[in-house]
Chains A and B, each alone.
Chain A
Amino acid sequence: MKLFNKLPFTIALAAMLFTGCDKLKDFGDTNVDPNRTTSPNTAALLTNILASVPNRASQITPGYFCQYFSETQYPGASLYVLPQADFDGIYAGAMYDCQNIINTNSNPATANSAASNGSNNNQIAIARIIKAFYFWTITDTWGDAPYSEALTGGENKFPKYDKQEDIYKGVLSELKLAVAQFDGGVAVKGDIVYGGDIVKWKKLANSIRLLVSMRMSKKYPGSGQFAANEFNAALADPAGTITSNADNFSVKYPGGSYNSPWFLLYDSRKDQGQANTFVALLAGLGDKRQLNNIYGSSQIGVPYGRNRDFMNNTWGSVFSADQWSRVLAPSLRSSSGRVDIVHSAAILLTRAEARERGWTNAATEPSTAKALYEDAITASHTQWGLTASDAASYVGSSTIAYGTITQENLNKIALQKYIALYPDGLQGWCEWRRTGIPVLTPAQDALNSGGKIPRRFVYGVNDYSTNKANVTAAAALLTGGDSQDAKVWWDQ
């Protein structure tokens, strides 16, 4: 009994003597996360980035502005309710993943192990191209935006907003450097678009350079000016540009867990459709992309720019019949559908425009503007499963056929580009802002004051709370402040 009485005490005593401070502090690897890894896999980062790029080319709201789409039962965004959105999530998402690939492949401590996913140069070059593409789409949407001080991983907590002009110059320079950076090293892994084919990546980079240069046409219309020079430099690059649909920058979804954004558009809600203005425009042109139920599911467009009362009570009598046209044919918005982000039709039309504008000439661009225009229309038709002869008969009509008057030809190119860019709402809206083609009538029941079609997105609330001084400074530079009617630099 006596021993029994002492036993716990003895144990306690032993425990106390044994347990020193060091023991109390030492937790071994308890705080090593078993669920995650601390070393990023650059191939997995790249796949993640490429899986999200189509989101930039399937935006609905800008598609309302350029009248590709319309809303059915609860119109709001299509009536120009304040287009305020945050861009910081895009930076923190795919754009920082790009930066992370660049950092991991540049840092001597990690570059060697990263090279198992492709040569450091090739990985960096691809990441640069996509990052530049993202910056381009962001500045085209909002205008001035953080660029030179962005993506430091929190080192610089308050990145300044760079002027759109500077972002444009930066984007062009980055793309140029990326093309030059590719080496003959190991092909990049995780590339679900081009399978590591650097020839195609170079073509993509040069093609984006053409598109970016042309977007400055209002600012630099002349042939010897900055835009034309950049355009020519890209065109002259020996790697070439996208001339065939086989080289398109397209993401084909596997379906199942990763679904096309066009599939998701109608996966639950069904309140967007093709705008009746767009349907009527294409029908008037005899455009088979529309008439053959490719761009939409039927020929009944959804009235554009009408309020809820009209949509419910007047037009509502056709609402429930599933007759009105959804965006794209059902076969094209399957879960394993494809999203074309940069395609040959847009590139060929851009080259046609440059030739027509005189930015290029027979020496720098052997094809004529007419040939480029017709090739582009053919490329667009075949891109959507039509034939070259469909394209030929389309071009044969007098309204489409290339003429001899420069301004008319420029308008025709602009119209075809607007049509070919469908359903990429952002690009359609940008081109409309640049060219004014087609002439769009603003929503009849617009909810914004002034009732004009928005020219930009308003800066989001996040930056107003986390980077207030810089966003306020950027807003102050806009005519009329941070409003949807203010024009971005290239739109002025």
Chain B
Amino acid sequence: MRIFLSLFTMLMLCGVLASAQTRLVSGKITDKDGAVVPFATIKIKGSTTGLQADAAGAYTIKVMDSDVLEVSAANFKPVVVAVGTQTSILTTLEKTGTLEEVIVTNAFGIKRTARSVSSNAQVVSSDQLNTVRQTNINNALAGKVSGIQVRSQSSAALGAETSIRLRGESNAGGGATGPLYVVDGTIIPSSNDINPDDIEDITVLQGPQGAALFGPDGSNGAIVVTTKKGKKGSKGLGIDINTGVQFDKIYILPNYQNSYAGGGRSNLTRFTWEPGMPDFWKPLDGKFYPDYTDDASWGPRMAGQEYIPWYSWYPGTEYAGTTAKLTPQPNNSRDFFNTGVTTLNNISLSKVTDGSNIRVSYTNQDQKGLIPTSYLKRHNLNVNASFDLSPNLLLSTNITYINQQSNAENDNAYGNNSTGNFNSWFHRDLDMSKLRELQGLTTPDGTLASWNHSNPDGGFNPANPNAFYRGNYWYNPYAYYNNSAVLTSRDRLFGDISLTYKINNDFSIRGTYRKQQLTTNQEVTLNDILQYSAGQASINNSYSGAAANNGKAYYGTQQTWSNRNVFELVASYKKKIKDFQVNANAGLESVQISSKSINAGTNGGFNVAGLFTLSNSKNPIDYSNFRSEQKRNAIFARGDIGWRNMLFGEFVLRNDWASVLPVGQGLFTKSFGGSFVFSDLVKEELPWISFGKMRLSYGTVTRLIAPYQLAVSYALATQSWNGNGLMGTPNTFPDKGLKGATASTTEVGLDLRFLKNRFGINITYYDSKDTRAPISAQVTGTTGVTNLLANVGSTKRRGIDIQFNAKPIVQQNFSWDFNANFSKQLENTVTAIAPGVDQLVFEGGASFSSITPPVTVNAIGKQWGMMLGGGARRINGQRVIETDPTAANYGQYIKDQELVFYGSVLPDYTGGVQNTFSIFKNFIINVNIDYQVGGKFFSLSDMWGSYSGLLARTAVLNDKGNPVRDAVADGGGVKTSGVDGNGKPVSFYVNAQSYFRGLVENNIFDDYIYDLTFVKVRELSFGYRIPVNRLKIGKFLQNATFSIVSRNPWLLYSKTKDFDPAEIGGVYGEDGQLPGTRSVGINLKLGF
């Protein structure tokens, strides 16, 4: 290794010595509109050598006054420039064709022309990305890149992270592995911290051969973001304003039944007033009431009959002691949610002079959430600057600071207080406007009024009215959110500062320091009144500390700090020698990653009501703290060589050392590729082919392990037992010889464009293998440990990615641009887990004492992420029915002894279509559609919603035309059709409650496994480019665009109507997730 470094040093010394003879000039190349022309070739006339401008169109060259420069670039007409006495040369090129050269960005900010790259690197421009302004780039990428699956989340979950998959999943151990996010060379752990308003373009690098240069972090591919810089040549003040507002409304909710009221009693009960009961109940004597206590909806038919609503029993309102009409409330859960309002404002200023370039951008995001009391506010400041300290020395810096404050209980878990309530356990007859009106109602003793209070026939005890008035399981949902909060504050700082030294025409060296830091503070509060007003299940709050407190009043706080420091040294060399263009880089990278956190919460409730502080804890507080640090070093070299801009070859070599690995283990990564632009050879013979390229690449990438995994380590329990410390043996042991591993991908591709680039297609086939990756492999706990961390996980992935673009109509007043992409995963198989282990459970949701909903497993030889769970026994595909009249489940489906594989959670196909229509030049309509086919998820909401009689399926008519809820003897009942134990067809009618409860109680989940298939219009935008020149305001306003936009306007097709399959909470499915939403908004963009 020393030899390699020394060699490099010598090469650079040679460069310095050679520079003494001539004078240095700098140059910049732009097109007629002032936009940068990257990677142009500059040659001194008469010499055989030349050089290439960089991605920003800049170059420096050593010349004599008498020299003449020849400047050429693909798709531009070449020009000749005499140097004379100029010290800086601005060259303007004129386009020859319609094709714009796409620039691909890789690690360390290395930019290449798309033509020369040997793997499928897709670039999404700012305009394509921001058709509709999204607050998260992952959502904005959906459907626009092939090989991507965007797993969006409901916008009711403010600030929730959307995850994406690039070409499926590679981890045999299960955990979902997202790609790396890189902003101007700096790795950012959260896609939410990338501001779409500041993005110039995004390069998506899929898999090892594309992202090899990133080392271990890039093992799942990389989303490489280049931010906007100040642009040379632009006119005006350099001020841009982008302002918009969007309104979010609930779009998709489960299909409820609206015929039967709440409770477990199918008839109303007559109320008899007794002495000791409140006097204001007297008028209710002889009136009828439903079962309030049972939180299901197996109640009486809603037919407008007189009944006593839940709030009549509470004193202090005009409704006390009154009755109402029992009528359906089809929109009650929809009405709970607010209209979400998001305002998004950005202003950016840029200034470019000869020796400097600065852009400052500020974005303000303000969201009022769909869940009452929720909000999110965000400030994003970005400064991007570079200065030429001398012709050879460039200083540049890029700093982003983000501050975010939110109150958002993004709880998708079972029993959450919005959808977890409405879709699993609820009364369909509840009038949401009453719940909203009475959200502050309490009894004189301080109990929050609840629709789920006790029934008066349980006996009202005047000495303890709370026992009657408190909610058995649920609060008024408004009251819950009024009395709880999850306040989060985040401060993210990231950026870099670098110094580039240009030694001569060919050599430069750059040192960069990067930093990425996140500080968070979270406070969770649950007011005493919730504890006092809770019946049984009490406060469902999934925040860890609060959850462990069994529904007590709670205050918890968490502070985290994480930091990543990087030092890079990159030497770059580029040279044009006759027909060859050579580019090479080499360098070293040193990374330090650390994090610390401290976490504390009250235990057992409060001593003093309403005081949210740790010292108010009834029992000793729960607390924990955590520290983690890792260091890595790497050396790397890469190079590419092009011949006549037609034949290209490239390589990457990289070696990583990391503190997390066994001492001395280095991980070596390599990647090779080549591409051939054959269209240049067949221009004459096949004139209809405007561009044709074949490419082939192979690469490996490394997989690391987490810090501190090599030894068995023991943690102490937080609290001691009367002075005795407690310590448990960890359940995961490292296997002997645990180490990092490598993964590899081979990729071939073909890029074709026809008829002057009006049609283009890009096809890629890839084959990826992960071999003996370190995973936490389950072993039977009877060994004493439940997991062994071992090099045992292998997966195999193959697939096809296709991008297609066309300009089917190009008219003076109407044009249609069309981009489509499609990817099919041919396989994503788990090939090894651990010796003797054929499957591994890796994700599941809530489970209940005797009810175990399906889980997600990896099983050898099967697709990654199989849904596995209880299901009906089948004979030739027909469900088997219990035919023994004495059996409890007579007439119902029988559970199979074996668990059933329901299919993989991964979709078979994903893709999207973007259409841009330009009408009369100034009107632009964008319609962006995306889709996925296949893949499974489990719905716990639907399972409980059916069990509880909330969903439409529990109140339909059977094939006799009678309500299924009618008695079987009266022609009602759910019809079961299947076979008996001998395969003979049989059919029964089963009491509806018994049927829907029986499925759940017997762990038969067939009916609650759904397809993830959908087709949706995700983005719709109608824009008008205001003709500023015609309006004679062009002097101070450069451009202005007004647009009406909509996000998720239309779910065109989905197999389930209860959820938006594009927004499923977990990998396995959902437990009570927040609903799908649709937004409309307006946006105004002004450039001064």
Contacts and interface: CB of A to CB of B under 8 A. Distances in A.
A445 interface: yes
Interface in A263-306: 264, 267-271
Contacts of B857: 465
B1056 interface: no
Contact of A25 (B265, B664, B716, B884): B664
Contact of A36 (B713, B722, B733, B785): B713
A51 interface: yes
B9 A16 contact: yes
A320 B509 CA distance: 78
Contact-size category for B:
35 or more
Given A31-B630, A35-B627, A37-B714, A151 B708 contact: no
B533 interface: no
A34 interface: yes
Contacts of A21: 1-2
Contacts of A238: none
A81 B1001 contact: yes
A465 B588 CA distance: 45
Given A92-B731, A157-B779, A99 B784 contact: yes
Contacts of B721: 47, 51, 192, 254, 258
A38 B635 CA distance: 33
Contact of A313 (B265, B659, B884): B265
A150 interface: yes
B785 A449 contact: no
Interface stretch (A5-13, A364-372, A407-415): A5-13
A337 to B, nearest CB: 15
B719 A47 contact: no
A12 B569 contact: yes
A448 B728 CA distance: 38
Interface residues of A, number: 110
Nearest to B392: A5
B724 A190 contact: yes
Interface string B698-734: 0000000001101111111111011011111101010
Contact of A462 (B389, B537, B781, B889): B781
A270 B459 contact: no
Interface string A116-138: 00000000000000000000000
A136 to B, nearest CB: 15
Contacts of A93: 728
A30 B659 contact: yes
A331 interface: no
Contact of B849 (A30, A76, A462): A76
Contacts of B672: none
Contacts of B464: 322
Contact of B537 (A189, A268, A319): A268
Contact of A317 (B458, B603, B840): B458
A157 B851 contact: no
A88 B620 contact: no
B508 to A, nearest CB: 10
Interface string A29-57: 01111111111110111011001000000
A256 B619 contact: yes
Interface string B977-1010: 0000000000000000100010001110000000
Contacts of A99: 784
B461 A321 contact: yes
A82 interface: yes
B776 to A, nearest CB: 12
A139 to B, nearest CB: 12
A426 B848 CA distance: 21
Nearest to A466: B780
Contact of B719 (A30, A38, A258): A258
Contacts of A316: 264, 291, 293-294, 455, 457-458
B551 interface: yes
B468 interface: yes
B887 interface: yes
B729 A16 contact: no
Given A88-B781, A447-B888, A35 B626 contact: yes
B784 to A, nearest CB: 4
Interface stretch (B66-74, B830-838, B1014-1022): B830-838
B841 interface: yes
Name, among A312, A320, A461, the residue most crowded by chain B CB atoms within 10 Å (CB to CB).
A320
B501 A308 contact: no
Contact of A271 (B265, B509, B536, B888): B536
A159 B780 contact: yes
B994 to A, nearest CB: 9
Interface in B523-570: 535-538, 550-551, 569
Interface in A133-155: 145-146, 150-155
11 contacts: A4-B389, A17-B9, A25-B657, A27-B631, A34-B629, A35-B715, A36-B714, A40-B714, A309-B993, A316-B457, A321-B467
- Which 8 residue pairs spanning A and B have beta carbons closest together? A88-B781, A320-B458, A320-B454, A96-B784, A44-B727, A92-B781, A27-B659, A36-B713
Interface of B: 1-2, 5-6, 8-9, 12, 16, 264-265, 291, 293-294, 389-390, 392-393, 454-455, 457-459, 461, 464, 467-468, 472, 499, 501, 503, 509, 511, 535-538, 550-551, 569, 588, 603-604, 619-620, 622, 625-631, 633-635, 657-660, 663-664, 666, 707-708, 710-719, 721-722, 724-729, 731, 733, 735, 778-786, 788, 834-841, 849-852, 857, 882, 884, 887-889, 899, 993, 997, 1001-1003
Interface of A: 1, 4-5, 8-9, 11-13, 15-17, 19-21, 23-25, 27, 30-41, 43-45, 47-48, 51, 61, 73, 76-77, 81-84, 86-93, 95-97, 99-100, 145-146, 150-159, 189-190, 192, 254-258, 264, 267-271, 308-309, 312-313, 316-323, 335, 445-449, 451, 461-463, 465-469
